[in-house]
A and B are shown apart, each in its own frame.
Chain A
């Protein structure tokens, strides 16, 4: 399979549960996040959601997996931002 068609399993972790999604490394990350959130019964838009690596690095969901150097199966962590409050 060429690099252009390479498919991998990304496991999204949402509120402690795993949601494996098959993705093409060239596809936009947002689409896969949307699928994972739907499986987790998290309705609504992606607004406020943040995607991170195990090391805590924030991932730009508007880019592709390949652009973010995610080309092998891995776990990514979805959670909401802090929301209200703060100084």
Chain B
């Protein structure tokens, strides 16, 4: 792969002078060294997770285990209820994806394509909320969830129960319609032609049908990128689930792995196996959709 690519580049850039050839060679050394630092720790993690306990400390640098084994995975999976954590994380991340695509598109479409009073002020408030550091709203958001009327045994005034704390809602609700999702989708709808809606209106289509059947299909690529980014962020989020989900059966994979790490500080084998388990879904999605992810991030930057 690399060799093929290399010849391709050499032909494409066609270095004429020895100096240019040296430059290309130095360039390859530099990017290969950086790739080594970004990729090797992950490769090493996978290799270590396959090593039996004895090999991990004695021959830690060996790139392939003498006797590969899955025993670390078995130990990680049986000492910690990773299956349950997996379900929790998947449920929360998927709910976040569905709700953010739905509400983000709905509101993004309205802000881009519909005329209504208060639109500018609302959108301005939403945009400037992106500037508020998350730490400011952390404590009060916890209290809003905890004292939510009629939730989790609460009465009208939010007393008596624990509200949404320790339930999926505590993670789902605050992130269901992120300002970022609305802004991101608005950018897509704003670039689409107005005439499509005008024609449909004359045909008597309702505004919701115009949105759902004409504009939404055109924005599906954008929605896919938003979905992938939301899934990654949801799957990888740590601090908020740590705060609002304390019941053992409610933990996410990230919080579960962190707890596992502080309980088994030197069990590197099972720890690395747990890390691989936890990272597998996002790595898989990245491998399958890397072009969209990379273009999506670049798209954010160009705004």
A interacts with B: no
List the interface of chain A (C-beta within 8 A of B): none
